[in-house]
Amino acid sequence: MVKLLCVNLQFKPPGFSGRAGMARADITPAAGIYARNWGAAEHDTAEGIHRPLFVSALVIHNSEEGNPLVIVDADLGWWRSLELERSFRNTILKTLDLDESRFIFALTHTHASPPLTDQVDKNWDGGDLLLPFLDQVRNTTIEVIQDAMESVQAVNIEWSTGKCQLATARDLRDPDESGKHRRICGFDPEAEADDTLLVGRISDKDGNTIAIIANYACHPTTLAWDNRMISPDFIGAMRETIEKEQPGSLAFFLQGASGELSPRYQYVGDPTVADQHGKELGYAVLSALSGMEPAGQQLAFKGVCESGAPLAIWKHEKCAHSSELKAIQTTIDLPLKDWPSADQLEHQRLTASDRHAEERLRRKRDIRRSLGDGDTYPLPVWIWQVGDAILVATMLETYSWVQLQLRKKFPASAIIYLNLANGSMGYLPPAKLYDEDLYQVWQTPFAAGGLEKLEAELSQIISKL
């Protein structure tokens, strides 16, 4: 016998109901382009293509009118200067008449694509192809956003949390170093890693899946100095795996707070390893999708069936999702280290004894040029509310602690965290690591306490939403 429902007990996924459009386009450069991203590399140019590079655009409305939210997922590494990124983004904003607070250009962070720079060294083999590549990326991005805008339709966007073990902690204490503070950038089998995989499913009015979003934190550093191919790293096989099982859909990858996270097996030249990693992540996404309720539905408690045990009866029913869209663009002042000037760093670079040191100093010089000479830096941040989901984006490579904290504080919301969005600056490790001899610590321009300050102020903003 089934008892009548006496309480309003429901299980409803975080979601959004509105309108969205999506599109994708190829930005793969020609072989022979300068693509050296590793200090240990002994070659400058790409000799072939492992998998194509793409830009994918997602446009979100809460009505047929109004300024949309636009997010672009691009198979690119990082910007070599903030000035170039600002010029690139401003051209897109002006061309399409977009609101700066409602536009995000997010990088997947592959380390096997051409560098994003307009400062081309005359000695770079294949460097003459870099500026045309930048033009290609910008023009294609504009076209793909326009295509996404033309495909807008009624949708539900619903979220589920899964797990994936591809990402591991990579701040390994050097086993061959007598000094107790030296850490090296690679798999630490004794450290825990954030394995959270946030999956968004976009469905049309008939319940068909038309797009899937994977928000996951893991450095695409499978392919390293021995690799001679253009590649999206593991993201390419991830997309292929998902879209093969979900025909007619587009898979998006949004890089999470991956400052200390990377695959266990990495730094190789074999592209099949990247494909294995991508399949692992793709199957984890599909697993999370398989566990979701039907599109636009929730579970509702309907009563108790008295059998050998009192059995709870849950049934699917339609649900109404929020159509709330908000976009906040603000800045958070982070403390800076006392670094040498850009000119001093350039002098050090020109007199560097090897290519490894020269590459490190080049990156440090570019960061210093972008920061200016102040004691703090007003870090731009983007916070979007999309129904029950909160998206947070910065240009930094923050450690996963920040996304873990935000998800702990706001368990009722789907917290989408993005690294390397609308620029590239540097790492942001926890304060407790600043006494360690660690790459992410000596690379970052930010002083100890920056990550904690960022999280505290983001929490305040989200609380107000």
* Model confidence pLDDT, tens digit, residues 252-291: 999 999 999 999 999 999 999 999 999 999 999 999 999 9
- Helix or strand holding residue 464 (H, E): helix 450-464
- The radius of gyration computed from the CA coordinates of the chain, to the nearest angstrom, equals 23
Which stretches of the chain drop beneath a pLDDT of 70? Answer: 1-7, 64-65, 177-180, 356
- Mention every residue, 6+ apart, whose C-beta is less than 8 A from residue 302: 2, 5, 313, 314, 315
**Measured CA distances, 144 to 56, 109, 166, 237, 263 (Å):** 7, 20, 30, 21, 31
- pLDDT value at position 3? 44
In degrees, to the nearest 5, what angle opens at C-alpha 458 toward C-alphas 260 and 410?
A: 85
- pLDDT value at position 446? 95
Of 140, 141, 114, 142, give the one whose Cα is nearest residue 128.
Answer: 114
pTM of the model: 0.93
pLDDT per position as a tens digit, 70-109 = 999 999 999 999 999 999 999 999 999 999 999 999 999 9
- pLDDT value at position 339? 75
Of 387, 371, 390, 369, give the one whose Cα is nearest residue 379.
Answer: 371
Alpha-carbon distance of 389 to 366, in angstroms, equals 35
